[in-house]
Amino acid sequence: MPGRLIICPTPIGNLGDMTLRALEELRAADVVCAEDTRVTGKLLAHFGIEKRLERLDEATITRQAEHVAQRVAAGEAIAFCSDAGMPGVSDPGARLIEAAQREGCDVVVLPGASAASTAYVASGFNNPRYYFGGFFPRKEGERRAALEGLAALDAVLVFYESPRRIADALAVVAQVFPHREVAVCRELTKLYEEVFRAAAPAAASEFARRDAEGGVRGEIALVIGPPTQAEEQAAAQDATASAAERAAELLRAGELSKKDIVRALRDEFGISRNEAYELVHGAQEGARVCAGMLRGRHPPPRSCRMALAHARGAGVGGARRSQCLSPCFNASASRFSRMA
């Protein structure tokens, strides 16, 4: 009989989630390779299965995967179990499967428990797509880069995270995605299962409190909701503000015509011709008004209103108005507001 590599999912917390088919395959296997022989040994003992166990974890998979695949090719039926859930998902099983496929082995993957898909469903986010990112990066800069790289993806984001780092992880999520909701899925399928769903800043505050008051416990899947309308509006305003700043910068440089600046804004920011024209016109008007004030002459009220309206229309407020119109606009912004 030809050999087989059997990928056996195991419960992520509740032993009642073990499938009948997985039990049958474990009983029929010649040997069981395990990420942790102690964990898998307890599982087999619970179901009355006696099998020879071999360790195959992160430390040994690189040198052992090819050898195990060759044994399968020679006719052995070898089952592989990770500590919990579906082997091959953020664990050494992926490399074992790859090695077996290179050897032309028969690989049988059994369906079963997965913390990622369970958390996605438990979160309640109404989006037909989800992206699983494995374990969340440990360093703040890497976390931020990962989230920013996924910002435009119309999907729910799912990561595994340590309870010791969840507070710090949520702080970064709240900074990058302040308009999104998150669900912290803790101890799924276990006695103290919790699905905590809230706006990202509120979740960050709650888990910072828990961390300070004694720490957070249990295995965690962090689920981040899909992009929201508020997030899209904020992004559009930021893009418009950046385009306005660029328009003022190009005008001050004096190297391009108004037509060329409009074209440059459209190419760089992907905005319409009318939007680009309005931004350039607003920057010109703001520069003209500020120049008049520098000469000691107050501009007519209508001109002040136009300059302020262009700044507001660009989605720019407060201190950033000076960046989209001219360097002296900030000093006069409060005066413009009173006059308008």
Same domain, 203 and 251: no
Range of the domain at 62: 4-112
Those residues whose C-beta lies under 8 Å from the C-beta of residue 145, and which sit 6 or more positions away, are: 137
**Banded model confidence at residue 62, pLDDT cuts 50, 70, 90:** confident
Distance CA 115, CA 188 (A): 7
Same domain, 266 and 188: no
Q: How many CA atoms lie within 13 A of 9 on its CB side?
A: 21
Residue 166 has pLDDT above 80, yes or no: yes
Same domain, 9 and 68: yes
Q: What is the pLDDT of residue 5?
A: 97
Which tops the pLDDT comparison, 285 or 147? 147
pLDDT (tens digit per residue) in 3-23: 999 999 999 999 999 999 999
Same domain, 272 and 217: no
Same domain, 208 and 274: no
Domain limit, last residue, from 66, 88, 112? 112
Distance CA 250, CA 284 (A): 11
Residue 196 is encoded by which pair of tokens?
């905590």
**Banded model confidence at residue 294, pLDDT cuts 50, 70, 90:** low
Q: What is the pLDDT of residue 66?
A: 94
Q: What is the pLDDT of residue 92?
A: 86
Same domain, 93 and 178: no
pLDDT (tens digit per residue) in 105-133: 999 999 999 999 999 999 999 999 999 99
Residue 83 has pLDDT above 80, yes or no: yes
Same domain, 192 and 120: yes
Same domain, 52 and 99: yes
Our count of domains for the chain comes to 3
Percent of the chain whose pLDDT exceeds 90: 63
Weakest mean pLDDT among 45-49, 163-167, 281-285: 281-285
Same domain, 241 and 281: yes
Q: What is the pLDDT of residue 74?
A: 95
Domain limit, last residue, from 197, 226, 255? 226
Q: What is the pLDDT of residue 174?
A: 97
Residue 72 has pLDDT above 90, yes or no: yes
Same domain, 120 and 202: yes
Domain limit, last residue, from 112, 144, 176? 112
Same domain, 189 and 289: no
Residue whose entry in the numeric block shows the structure tokens 């690189």: 62
Write phi, then psi, for 227 (nearest 5 degrees).
-55, 145
Q: Which of 8, 212, 26, 193 has its CA nearest to residue 114?
A: 8
Do the beta carbons of residue 241 and residue 324 sit within 8 Å?
Answer: yes
Q: What is the pLDDT of residue 290?
A: 62
To the question of pTM greater than 0.75 for the whole model, the response is no
Q: What angle do CA 88, 92, 93 make, to 5 degrees?
A: 40
Overall average pLDDT of the 142-150 stretch = 96
247-255, long-range: CB < 8 A, 24+ apart: 247/276, 247/279, 247/280, 247/282, 247/283, 247/324, 248/283, 248/286, 248/287, 248/323, 248/324, 248/325, 248/326, 251/280, 251/283, 251/284, 251/287, 252/287, 252/326
Instruction: Identify the CATH number of the domain in which residue 50 sits.
Output: 3.40.1010.10
* 234, amino acid identity: A
Per 3-state DSSP, the chain is made up of helix, strand and coil in percentages (nearest 5) of 55, 15, 30
Same domain, 134 and 221: yes
Distance CA 323, CA 240 (A): 12
Instruction: Identify the CATH number of the domain in which residue 154 sits.
Output: 3.30.950.10
pLDDT (tens digit per residue) in 38-47: 999 999 999 9
